[in-house]
Structure 1
Amino acid sequence: MRLFLLLFLFAPAICKAQEKVAFFGLTLLDTSLQTTELGQDPAELERLAAVEKIIADRFEQEGYVLLELDPVRKDIDRYVNLAKCYGCDTRIATKLGADFALVGEVQKTSNLILSMNLQLRAADTGELVKGGVVEIRGNNDESWYRGMRYILKNRFFVREKK
């Protein structure tokens, strides 16, 4: 009886732990005049990598398995932006045996105005399961990290209020 109760209580966690995600990272879309005039800011590329790590760490903490992308690297490299490729992300995720495709973008309009989005879609149907967009002001570590943590907390891993 105790074993049954334990299985009943932990079944959702056990099922979630088996869900596999193909996280294809974030694409930086930069249409700012600053970059046009001064070139790419290396700090932004570092922030992009740090935000991707925040996402990966949070998904792993929540019990998802992030799949290795090397087996489909040639497929991935065919596209500039997997968040806007008419379902290529879910097709590639299916090849990997993933349950979900996870993609996102950071769009820089200026050093003051940026937008972030993250989308989790079912690999088999392409249906949007969860997603979020946030506008941030300021092009610094704190604003980028706070923006993505907001999406994760309020759109992906919302805790039920009791």
Structure 2
Amino acid sequence: MTNADVLRGRRALAGCAVALLCSVSAAAAASADPAPARIAVFGFELDDFSGGAGLAGNSAADRRYLDQATSEARRLLAQSGRYSLVEVSAAEDEAAKEHTLHQCHGCEAAIAFKLGAEQSFVGVVTRISRTDYAVRFEIRDARSGDLIRAQNSDLRLGADYSWSRGAAALIESGLLGAP
């Protein structure tokens, strides 16, 4: 065997070692990133404690601002890579249709499970007055109904058109910013 043959053999062995290390490294990286959780994000709901709460009900403007908050929540969760959104429009439960999931103490988990989700998300805007509101959300395990995470904002000054910004800030800092 010549020195050239030995050198070629060492190079081939080194190439195999590099390929093996790369495949082990790729497998470790793939197992470190879990698959996104399938989450059913139900529409944000209004819990109105303001002085005029019973007079106007949910106005068209309120519904529009709640829809904007829902869209923003869905966008942020989907873009995070941690979550895969499950379509919720097929939910047949009365609480989902009436936008009263925040009052059913976790019933949304079972609804989410029926829809094929692993987790449920319910967001609520609590109106204290026409310019003071709080935002909260709850995420539950769809199989067990156990609360996984709940976040509440402090009161924020702003009108109803800022609900989506409040929801986004809470999700970004209270959920996506958390490890």
> Shared topology, TM-score over 0.5?
yes
Residues 35-114 of structure 1 aligned to structure 2 (within 5 Å): 36=54, 40-63=58-81, 64-74=83-93, 76-77=95-96, 80-114=99-133
**Cα pair 2:106 2:140 within 8 Å, conserved:** no
Q: List per-residue Cα deviations over 1:115-146 (Å, max 9, x = no partner).
A: 111111111222221221112212143x3233
TM-score after normalising by structure 1: 0.82
**Cα pair 1:28 1:107 within 8 Å, conserved:** yes
State the one-letter code of the partner of 2:163. Answer: W
TM-score after normalising by structure 2: 0.75
**Deviates further, 65-74 or 97-106:** 65-74
CA RMSD between the two structures: 2.4
Q: Which has the larger radius of gyration?
A: 2
The answer as to 2:10 corresponding to 1:10 is: no
Report the alpha carbon displacement of residue 20 of structure 1 after superposing the two structures with TM.
Answer: 0.6
Partner of 1:23: 41
Q: List per-residue Cα deviations over 1:66-102 (Å, max 9, x = no partner).
A: 1122443345546651122133111111212211010
Residue-pair matches, total: 157
d(CA) in 2 for partners of 1:41, 1:140: 11
**Structure 1 unmatched runs, 5+:** none
d(CA) in 2 for partners of 1:95, 1:50: 25
Query: Structure 2 vs 1, CA of residues 123 and 28 (structure 1 numbering), >3 Å: closer, same or farther?
Result: same
Report the alpha carbon displacement of residue 35 of structure 1 after superposing the two structures with TM.
Answer: 5.0
**Structure 2 unmatched runs, 5+:** 1-19
d(CA) in 2 for partners of 1:39, 1:105: 15
**Cα pair 1:79 1:85 within 8 Å, conserved:** no
**Cα pair 1:107 1:116 within 8 Å, conserved:** yes
d(CA) in 1 for partners of 2:26, 2:178: 22
Report the alpha carbon displacement of residue 56 of structure 1 after superposing the two structures with TM.
Answer: 0.2
